[in-house]
Structure 1
Amino acid sequence: MTVLSLRSRILLTFVVSSALVGLLFGISAIVFAYHTEDQLFATLLDAEATYAEQQLLAGAQIQPRLPFVSYLADISALPQHIQATLQRAPERTEFALDNGQHYHMLKLSRGFLLADVTDQLVVRQMRPQLSLLLVTLLLLVLLGSAAFAYLLARRLLKPLRQLTQLVDSTGLNPDMPLSERFADQFTPDEVGRLAQALQKAWQRVAEFIRREQQFTQDVSHELRTPVTISQGALTLLCHTPLTPAQAQYVARLQHAQLQINQTIATLMLLAREQLPAAQAVNLLSLVEQSILQQQHKLAAKPVQLELAISPHAQVIIDDTVLLMLLNNLLANAFDYTAVGVISITFTANQLTIQDSGSGIEAAIRDQAFEAGVKGKHSQGMGVGLSLVKRLCDKAHIGYQLQSNDTGTCVRLQFPE
């Protein structure tokens, strides 16, 4: 749908309004001309009627003074068309015949005065010239109205256009000094008040962005430093003699360390304004990598894992983002499937992860992608699917979840 600019709408409003006013004026002018002409003929007949009545009183023969006016002593002397019209409408005084003749009639005390005004119809004779004049005047008025509307719109919308260009060209730049008050260059009218409101909103958003960037930097530094130290300590610990029980504890610590690293990476990624540039990545290798990272969740479980992905299957996405999506979805499938089958398939650019677990509780299925929503038996914080949703939204990936008592199915539709 095409949206007209404000200037075009102002111009169109002026032109349409002028056209309507001009049209009404033209119709009124033509009606006034015909009415004036009829009143003239009526006045002339009234004068002839007065003169004819004087002749009737004097017993003289009726001799109208105007050459196009004649005296008829009886109704039968009138033209047949006029007689027929008078039978239907006795009050009629003006008659237009099919042959183009036009008459005005006035009844006397005895007889009738009939004026054949066919040759005296000045308005009808001048109608082509009058129409041409009115059309010419209308066009001149439209041109003048359009020019005036264009100049008026250009003058009124100039500050709004400057404000729009300023916002479009600059954008929300958090590095802009707050002392640069762009709204001061506008007059304190409606546009000026709009500029003031935009300036305040601009400054607030810029401050929010600065705080978020600073928070991200602080979190990245404060979290990654101890995580790196603990990772180094675990690596050294793995190279020391350990009892089976100790080795099991260290393995659990390494798994927790991996989860912490993945969580930090996911949060840092979501804090960015844009995700890393998408590229073609091999899907099967990343799925296998995610399975290896989550395999301990299936230990000692009678669960069969079915993988139906072509070795050559590729999707357009950053590999880090895809690995985070897979880790969250496969972790849920592995955690909540005690027995049965977990299938991972890829067809028509759609990745499907189907498990045979207990499914998501019916009361929270519609809110499963909201942060903090989790089932009664969930051991997590209820943020896994929320992170999946946010990553999919940023990467323009379609997602769909279906769940019942026999399992859960998640589908990811990757862009072409």
Structure 2
Amino acid sequence: MYRLSLRKRVAFAFAICVAVLSLAWGLAFFGAIRLSEDRVLTQQLQVAAQSYPAMTMNLRGYEEVASLPESLREWAQTNPAEGLYEFESDELHVAVIPGNTEQRRAFVVFDVAGIEAASSEDWWLLLVITGVVGTLGALGFGLGVVVMRKAVAPVAQLAKVVADIDPQKLSAEDHKRIESSRFGDDEVGLLARTIEKTLERISAFVERERYFTGSASHELRTPVTVITGALELLEQSDLSVADAKVVDRIRRATLDMKTTIEMFLCLARETDDGLYDKQFLVMPLVNQAIEQQRHLLSGKSVDVEVDQLAKPKICGHPQAFSIAVNNLVRNAFEHTLAGQGPITILIKEHELLVTNQVSALVTNQESADERHTPTGAPSFHGYGLGLGIVQRLCERNGWSFSLHADEARVATRLSW
């Protein structure tokens, strides 16, 4: 259990990492300085030991330019400013300081011959320093990774638990794994509690959806079935022409009601027993839709032209596709006035196109706006509730739906 918040743990981890790295770099620089001092002193002692019993003087002072080493005289005559100078070729270091008078300068010459390291030794020292710096950098990076992993371990644990949960198949074990008490009272615990409550709401929603669709499927279809049976009995009896027309209207209204119920149940279900992977032919469903909606053309003298350029067989939910086609055909039949045909239905390999003529006289401003709706951003208001449902059915099955309307015609396209 973590007593500190995630923010404080990250801050402490960063502070510890910086402190350890600073200490390591400080010790490394201190060791390098001490090593350099010891090396210089050792070199001086070695030079003195080699010249014993005559003791060499590496450090000398000069007040006259003429007394300087010959290699420095020409330079000294230029009256250099006060400061420190280095002559690598002669292995001399010179300090220029004020002399006895303002116009004169004094010189302190330090002969480093035999004391400074050779070039080869410098390269080896550079390699050693580079190796030490690289090692410290790698250790610092590794330390930072370890410390930060420790600090954010609860977040990683929560992310792994959430990634392994399938929202569509929540189980009691999933609720135990996401239990907020496992993550303490810090920010991660708050996030875990929020996710836990969200999963509980999702589970309750899924349960309500299953109960509703199961109950509605039975309660809504039963009256429709009873009405259908009663209509079949009425059709077998001797009916007058007027009564037969009324029964026919009831039969069509019942069929529309059945289609609407199936449509909404199809959209409400989360799963549908694998029917979304079923293969079916397009043409039989188109013919069925035309026959079911043909009564809408009674008395209009409008022809229906079906042009089958291919015989597509698609994969998806056959009932959803049938509902979509029925809506497209019904809207085309309803919005075509007498003598404004033909209605064309074009079947291609990957799309279904339904086109109908519309009246040139616009009597409703809303209809006028609708007819100028561009392809790809359709507004389905005014052409029936079914087109909005068609859009949702297509999204559910991975199909695409578009509508294009102008002053002359309305074209709907269903692609797969």
Q: Same fold (TM over 0.5)?
A: yes
Report the equivalent of 2:344: 343
Structure 1 171/86 Cα, relative in aligned 2: closer, same or farther at 3 Å?
A: farther
**Alpha-carbon distance, 1:327 to partner:** 0.6
Q: How does 1:9-48 map to 2 (within 5 A)?
A: 29=29
Equivalent residue for 1:412, pick from 403, 411, 414: 414
Structure 1 251/233 Cα, relative in aligned 2: closer, same or farther at 3 Å?
A: same
Report the equivalent of 2:161: 166
**Alpha-carbon distance, 1:325 to partner:** 0.8
SS at match of 2:62: strand
Report the equivalent of 1:287: 286
**Alpha-carbon distance, 1:240 to partner:** 0.9
Gaps of 5+ in 2: 1-9, 41-54, 361-366
**Superposed CA offset, 1:340-397 (max 9, x none):** 3322223351222222224953269479867xx633xx6xxx4211111110111011
Q: Is the 8 A contact 2:310 2:348 kept in 1?
A: no
**Alpha-carbon distance, 1:326 to partner:** 0.2
SS at match of 1:93: strand
1:103 equivalent to 2:105? Answer no
State how far apart, in whole Å, the 2-side matches of 1:256 and 1:82 are: 121
**Superposed CA offset, 1:91-126 (max 9, x none):** 5532355x5855333244245334343644359775
**Alpha-carbon distance, 1:264 to partner:** 0.7
Structure 1 86/277 Cα, relative in aligned 2: closer, same or farther at 3 Å?
A: farther
Q: Is the 8 A contact 1:72 1:114 kept in 2?
A: no
Gaps of 5+ in 1: 1-9, 41-63
**Superposed CA offset, 1:251-296 (max 9, x none):** 1111111111111111111111245232332111111111111111
Report the equivalent of 2:331: 332
State how far apart, in whole Å, the 2-side matches of 1:153 and 1:319 are: 53
Structure 1 403/83 Cα, relative in aligned 2: closer, same or farther at 3 Å?
A: farther
Q: How does 1:370-381 map to 2 (within 5 A)?
A: 374-375=381-382
Report the equivalent of 1:312: 311
**Alpha-carbon distance, 1:223 to partner:** 1.2
1:112 equivalent to 2:94? Answer no
Equivalent residue for 2:397, pick from 395, 411, 416: 395
Equivalent residue for 2:199, pick from 197, 202, 206: 202
Report the equivalent of 1:4: none
State how far apart, in whole Å, the 2-side matches of 1:138 and 1:130 are: 12
Report the equivalent of 2:245: 248
Q: Is the 8 A contact 2:401 2:412 kept in 1?
A: yes
What TM-score does the superposition give when structure 2 sets the normalisation length? 0.72
SS at match of 2:303: strand
State how far apart, in whole Å, the 2-side matches of 1:118 and 1:400 are: 91
Q: Is the 8 A contact 1:174 1:210 kept in 2?
A: no
Structure 1 295/103 Cα, relative in aligned 2: closer, same or farther at 3 Å?
A: same
Q: Name the Cα RMSD after superposition.
A: 4.2
Q: Is the 8 A contact 2:324 2:390 kept in 1?
A: yes
**Alpha-carbon distance, 1:164 to partner:** 3.4
1:187 equivalent to 2:178? Answer no
Q: How does 1:140-179 map to 2 (within 5 A)?
A: 140-172=135-167, 173=169, 176=172
1:135 equivalent to 2:136? Answer no
Report the equivalent of 1:73: 64
Q: Could you tell me which amino acid in structure 1 is paired with residue 226 of structure 2?
A: I
SS at match of 2:342: strand
SS at match of 2:276: coil
Q: Could you tell me which amino acid in structure 1 is paired with residue 346 of structure 2?
A: T
1:362 equivalent to 2:369? Answer yes
- Once structures 1 and 2 are overlaid, which stretch shifts more, 146-155 or 281-290? 146-155
**Alpha-carbon distance, 1:206 to partner:** 1.4
State how far apart, in whole Å, the 2-side matches of 1:310 and 1:404 are: 25
State how far apart, in whole Å, the 1-side matches of 2:139 and 2:388 are: 61
Structure 1 129/221 Cα, relative in aligned 2: closer, same or farther at 3 Å?
A: same
- Once structures 1 and 2 are overlaid, which stretch shifts more, 198-207 or 131-140? 131-140
Identity of aligned residues (%): 26
Q: Is the 8 A contact 2:66 2:73 kept in 1?
A: no
Q: Is the 8 A contact 1:308 1:344 kept in 2?
A: yes
Q: How does 1:223-262 map to 2 (within 5 A)?
A: 223-262=220-259
State how far apart, in whole Å, the 2-side matches of 1:119 and 1:288 are: 107
Structure 1 93/165 Cα, relative in aligned 2: closer, same or farther at 3 Å?
A: closer
Q: Is the 8 A contact 2:378 2:403 kept in 1?
A: no
State how far apart, in whole Å, the 1-side matches of 2:90 and 2:298 are: 108
SS at match of 1:321: helix
Q: Is the 8 A contact 2:303 2:343 kept in 1?
A: yes
Report the equivalent of 2:386: 384
Report the equivalent of 1:7: none
Q: Could you tell me which amino acid in structure 1 is paired with residue 381 of structure 2?
A: K
SS at match of 1:252: helix
Q: Is the 8 A contact 1:325 1:391 kept in 2?
A: yes
Q: Could you tell me which amino acid in structure 1 is paired with residue 389 of structure 2?
A: L
1:93 equivalent to 2:95? Answer no
Q: Could you tell me which amino acid in structure 2 is paired with residue 401 of structure 1?
A: L
What TM-score does the superposition give when structure 1 sets the normalisation length? 0.72
State how far apart, in whole Å, the 1-side matches of 2:77 and 2:334 are: 103
Q: Is the 8 A contact 1:280 1:316 kept in 2?
A: yes
Structure 1 81/384 Cα, relative in aligned 2: closer, same or farther at 3 Å?
A: farther
Aligned residues between the structures: 364
